[in-house]
Each structure stands twice: as structure tokens, then as C-alpha cells.
């Protein structure tokens, strides 16, 4: 699947950092989550609405490769692409850059499983697939 990435800007606040002013590593997963949700919403899929309908997506795998740190005061961008849709699964790729200098900071991936209201795997609804692919 080749597509233009969805770009989500993130401002780095003091609360995002450790005592050295560097973004705490686990926060990048939060940025992935935020960016993934924004990508879905930009295509007409509101995850909260689907949860109310008994359809949810859960992360089954997450990975991040850290190249350079973001620091307090940075403005970063999370470029998100939907890389795989298959049956009950979605995969997203991420590139986090600092636009001020073009530095690539973090790359990553998350895999998601579509679940029903009893948290059992289910096929991704056709309505969602039509909107996101």
C-alpha cells in the first residue's frame, strides 16, 4: 500500500520529558496512538463511535527505533501511513521528524487486531475498509 502520510504535529511539553529535558521513550507510543487516531478520523472513521457500536482495535505489536531525541520545546511531526489491511488486522507505519532541521527522530510500527464487544477477533467491517483503503 503506497500512500501519502498523514501528518500530525506534536509540541513537546515539559511533561513529556525526563529530568534531562529529553522526551521519555514511552511517550513516542502515545504520539503514535494520537497520530493513528487522527489518520482514521481524517478518513471518516471515528474510533470512539465504533467502540460504542461494539467494534474496537487493540494493539497487538508495537515497535520503535530511536535515532535522535526530541527535547522540551521541540515541534515534531508524526507521519503516519496505513501499511496493511487484512481480515482482522491493520498495520501502521510511523516516522517522527523535527521539521526545524529535517532530522528523523523515531520510526515505528503498530499492528492492530479488530475485536468485537467480547474482545474476540472479528473481521474489519466493510464500512471501515471502504473509508480507510
Pairing mode, strands 56-66 and 89-98: unpaired
18 is catalytic: yes
Catalytic residue among 16, 18, 65, 126: 18
- Residues with catalytic function: 18
Amino acid at each position: 500500500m503506497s500512500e501519502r502520510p498523514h501528518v500530525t504535529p506534536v509540541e513537546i511539553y515539559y511533561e513529556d520529558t525526563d529530568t534531562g529535558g529529553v522526551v521519555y521513550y514511552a511517550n513516542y507510543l502515545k504520539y503514535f496512538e494520537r497520530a493513528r487516531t487522527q489518520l482514521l478520523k481524517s478518513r471518516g472513521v471515528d474510533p470512539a463511535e465504533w467502540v460504542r457500536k461494539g467494534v474496537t482495535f487493540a494493539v497487538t505489536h508495537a515497535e520503535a527505533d530511536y535515532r535522535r531525541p526530541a527535547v522540551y520545546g521541540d515541534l515534531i511531526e508524526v507521519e503516519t501511513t496505513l501499511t496493511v489491511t487484512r481480515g482482522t488486522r491493520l498495520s501502521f507505519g510511523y516516522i517522527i521528524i523535527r521539521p526545524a532541521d529535517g532530522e528523523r527522530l523515531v520510526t515505528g510500527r503498530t499492528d492492530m487486531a479488530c475485536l468485537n464487544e467480547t474482545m474476540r477477533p472479528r473481521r474489519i467491517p466493510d464500512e471501515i475498509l471502504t473509508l480507510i483503503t
